[in-house]
Amino acid sequence: MCGIIGVVGKNPVNQLLYDGLLVLQHRGQDAAGIVTCDGNTFFMHKNNGLVQDVFRTRHMRSLIGNAGIAHVRYPTAGSSSAAEAQPFYVNSPFGIVLGHNGNLTNSAQLKQEMFRQDLRHINTNSDSEVLLNVLAHEIETSSHNAVLNTDMIFEAVAGVHKRCRGAYAVVAMIANFGLLAFRDPYGIRPLVIGKNESEQGTEYIVASESVALDVLGFTLVRDVAPGEAIFIDLDGNFFSRQCAESPQLSPCIFEYVYLARPDSVIDNVSVYQTRLHMGESLADKIAREWKHLKIDVVIPIPDTSRPSALELANKLNLTYREGFIKNRYIGRTFIMPGQALRKKSVRQKLNPIGMEFKDKNVLLVDDSIVRGTTSRQIVQMARDAGASKVFFASAAPPVRYPNVYGIDMPSRSELLATGRTDEEICAEIGADALIYQDLDALITAVQKSNPDIKVFDCSCFDGKYITGDIDEAYLACAESVRGDGAAQKRPANSITQLDLNLVGTEEEELV
């Protein structure tokens, strides 16, 4: 899960990109980077850390130009070193920088092809650098060393679609030419287009979520279609083309469960409305199958589950209360590297309000249960606060399979639901009852906002991978390199800047 943004404006865009990254910070807290473009020159700064920690005033002043891209990352493939912060850069052909949200499932094969066939060097373990070099090679092939035009760019993206597998939403800048954005043929990861009409002309933006457009004053135009590429030149002219042979919208349903902000609209679906529907269907299941439970109060586990918990309580005519206070200066525990750090951070992140629990039968509502570490500690917090009974409801089905498309669910051995029945999971987290959302109900909850979406990637729930190229061998290999601690064991690669037109470094000390 990462956040990407690209802007072609009529004035300097460094502040727009910075503000956009702040809004998308929930999509990645490991690293941040901005590249701006002024004619033939790129200006870059990136490093590990939160947006507000990576960028200082002196960095912002050096990010010159009316166009640029930006990225926030949390690591799924590759390591967590500063060398793998994005955007990535290549100087040939033309000079290209790229930011990527998703995960390539054939990255190892492509890396070998880059080295042996395309004669390109990949300097890090990041699949995003592989994707950048595939794009660069395809642009080089389509342009035939001639003057670049939009037809050549769209032909290159078509070549990327033919070679790359997995999930990828991409923003890229081509020096002295413009902004390119495209989405994989399944549209697994989100990407939206916005524009702003000013006295100087039309400005365009692309971003992972529509909330970035809202905050920056842009109007949502539409989503980038699966397989589609859009190009905006530096004069603000907009071009688009379908570049995939058989595109099919199959978005990741976990975006609506957890990843996206509730005030975003993705693929014409309100995330907030979807979460209300999730609460409604969960209430129906409780009324149908768990009506014997004596529930005194419904309490959400902040923040993602609030809409679902509220709608559930309303439909069942139960009292809704805020029972946990969240420390907003602690990061999202789901995306923290390392199980030990996750365990420590839960207690720092949430603190119960005793009066809401004491002598009550409490129904806790969370968006999902992944590893179970957080759920177990929260149930114990409720008991320590005096709850008579603790029931637990998940607005999503059991997470039994790893996600290979850019979410940190790497190992089946780390997923609480894998190989366990609901009763065993309930005992593991220490609850008196456990209610899961049904997958059909979750799908219906999203489709209520957009019935045109017929297929979703639900692989973390049902083990069916939408790209059709994932087998047991792939999962075993992915788990061996992406489990807790694996990233820390890999050496961080050094990085070398090869072009004097690239200004700034990602290794610069923050002062």
CA distance 474 to 469: 9
CA distance 297 to 313: 8
CA distance 131 to 355: 53
CA distance 153 to 181: 11
SS3 256: helix
Written as six digits, the tokens of 474 are 């792939």
Exposure of 214 in the CB half-sphere (CA atoms within 13 A)? 11
CB 122, CB 141: distance < 8 Å = no
Among residues 125, 262, 266, the alpha carbon closest in space to that of 190 is found at 266
177 Cβ contact list (under 8 Å, min separation 6): 94, 148, 233, 234
> Parallel, antiparallel, or unpaired: how do β-strands 269-270 and 265-266 relate?
antiparallel
CA distance 296 to 308: 17
- Tell whether 366 is in a known binding site: yes
- Tell whether 304 is in a known binding site: yes
- Tell whether 467 is in a known binding site: no
Written as six digits, the tokens of 498 are 């090869």
Written as six digits, the tokens of 274 are 């979807």
Among residues 103, 273, 126, the alpha carbon closest in space to that of 189 is found at 103
**Known active-site residue 458:** no
CA dist list (Å): 255 to 81, 191, 259, 367: 26, 12, 5, 11
Written as six digits, the tokens of 187 are 């549209």
Residues in binding site for Mg(2+): 304, 366-367
Residues in binding site: 304, 366-367
Which are the catalytic amino acids?
Answer: 2
